[in-house]
Amino acid sequence: MTEKAWGGRFSEKTDQTVEAFTASIAIDRRLYRHDIDGSIAHCRMLARAGIISEDDAAQLVKGLEQIRDEITNGQFVFDDRLEDIHMHVESRLFDIVGNVARKLHTARSRNDQVALDARLYLREETRHIIRQLHALRKAFVDAARANIGTVMPGYTHMQRAQPVLVSHHLMAYYEMFTRDSDRLRDALPRIDVMPLGCAALAGTTYPIDRDDTAAQLGFAAISANSMDAVADRDFMLEFLSAASICMVHFSRLSEELVLWASTEFGFIELPDAFSTGSSIMPQKKNPDVPELIRGKTGRVIGDLVALLTTMKALPMAYNRDMQEDKGALFSSVDTLQACIEVMTKMLPRVTFKQDVMRQATTTGFLNATDMADYLVGKGIPFREAHAVVGRAVAYALDHGKRLEQLTLEEMRVFSDEIDTSLFEALTVEQVVNRRTSSGGTATENVKSAVSLAGARLTAERLP
């Protein structure tokens, strides 16, 4: 059966150029499992509602299961004349069971059918991504636990600012990716809504049981408004937004890995298995994996903007523009999943160069704020203390020294309140461990954060 499902109204065959232009089968063929699952559930509901016979339903289900096997095994023949995965399944079903295949589309439209397929697909992939992020977050916790004693410069404006624990830095990304996971969890209930039975836009005259279909497919709810169910893709937009934010986090992490792996920083060594070389320069070891993740971020953000732009001016209800939604969705799902997978494998094999990182904390006056805090403890107002330390830093720069290398006599030129106790406060260990405020980089804080994160991951229920 290759004639158009809507061909009765038309007196001319569709131009071949139009067939090629309007066909979506090259993209939506990957929805075949979801389309067939939806059709089987719809078919069984029709039989239970007395709309088709049990014998017809049995034939249809058997035929649909055969089609699923044929596509899975690569035996199925696709044809642009059939436009999309829905028509391919229906056409092949006609070949297998004959005229009874024409009953399957009773009480539904391709409009609610494609919305169903997209929700089934996205629900499945979102759950998978949440599980992937769980593994990635565990990799960050494990890396933080393994590097508790390692200090490094923390940066603002890409200038060395204050020393922090490497573990504290890694746990910052744990927090980011935890929020990404939470956003996807929050989106799941809005994805997990069944649109089938809304038909083209107004519902159907048949006595269908949408709750029956939803239960078969494991949906938590059914859509409340038939027009909204077929006309909006905000559940996709919400996913793409969460995916874009997650990719921004990946891009920031990747940027730091690229910098840290450079000779100029030398903070880390990336594993050879996750690096590449140069076709002309034998000495090169390039951080291609984080560079590609950084580059792929633009693709996911672009997918979000593309779908937002597609949807922004569409009148109710369904419009063919919405056929463009799946390309953006599939691209983002594939990209995000690939990035999570490769980063989860690479991170445990990154080597942090403790000596290099610690040495980097000794330059750039990273303890200047602690000197100001010391003066505040002596009763000097912070703004005045800030100015005192600024003058001390200028003096140290002029004399090629670090603050802790100045003598007590040199220090007392800037304030009579300074005594020998200042020098202990300026050590890297003290600078780090005195930051005991909640969320700070003190070693005990970070140990506690790592422990709490590990406990959360262990207790976390995965979808």
The residues that are catalytic are 157, 278
Contact in structure between 426 and 372 (CB atoms under 8 Å):
no
CA 331 to chain centroid = 12
Percent helix / strand / coil, the chain, rounded to 5: 65, 5, 30
Separation in Å, CA 183 to CA 16, 178, 234, 248: 44, 9, 14, 14
Residue with token string 């202990």: 424
> Which H or E run contains 164?
strand 159-165
Amino acid at 190: R
Amino acid at 370: D
User: Angle 25-194-182 (CA atoms, 0-180°, nearest 5)?
Assistant: 95
Reading the block at residue 295, the tokens are 């580059």
* DSSP letter assigned to residue 317: S
Contact in structure between 436 and 444 (CB atoms under 8 Å):
yes
CA 449 to chain centroid = 23
Residue with token string 């649909």: 64
C-alpha span between 174 and 410 (Å, rounded): 44
Residue 138 burial (CB count, 10 A):
18
Reading the block at residue 384, the tokens are 């005045």
Reading the block at residue 144, the tokens are 């933080």
Residue with token string 């494609």: 114
- 384: helix, coil or strand? helix
Listed in sequence order, the residues at least 6 apart from 105 whose beta carbon sits closer than 8 Å to its beta carbon are 5, 90
Reading the block at residue 255, the tokens are 């940027």
Residue with token string 């949807």: 311
C-alpha span between 73 and 39 (Å, rounded): 20
Neighbouring-strand partners of residue 269: 351
Q: Return the HEC string of 38-85.
A: HHHHHHHHHHHCCCCCHHHHHHHHHHHHHHHHHHHCCCCCCCHHHCCH
C-alpha radius of gyration, the chain, whole number: 31
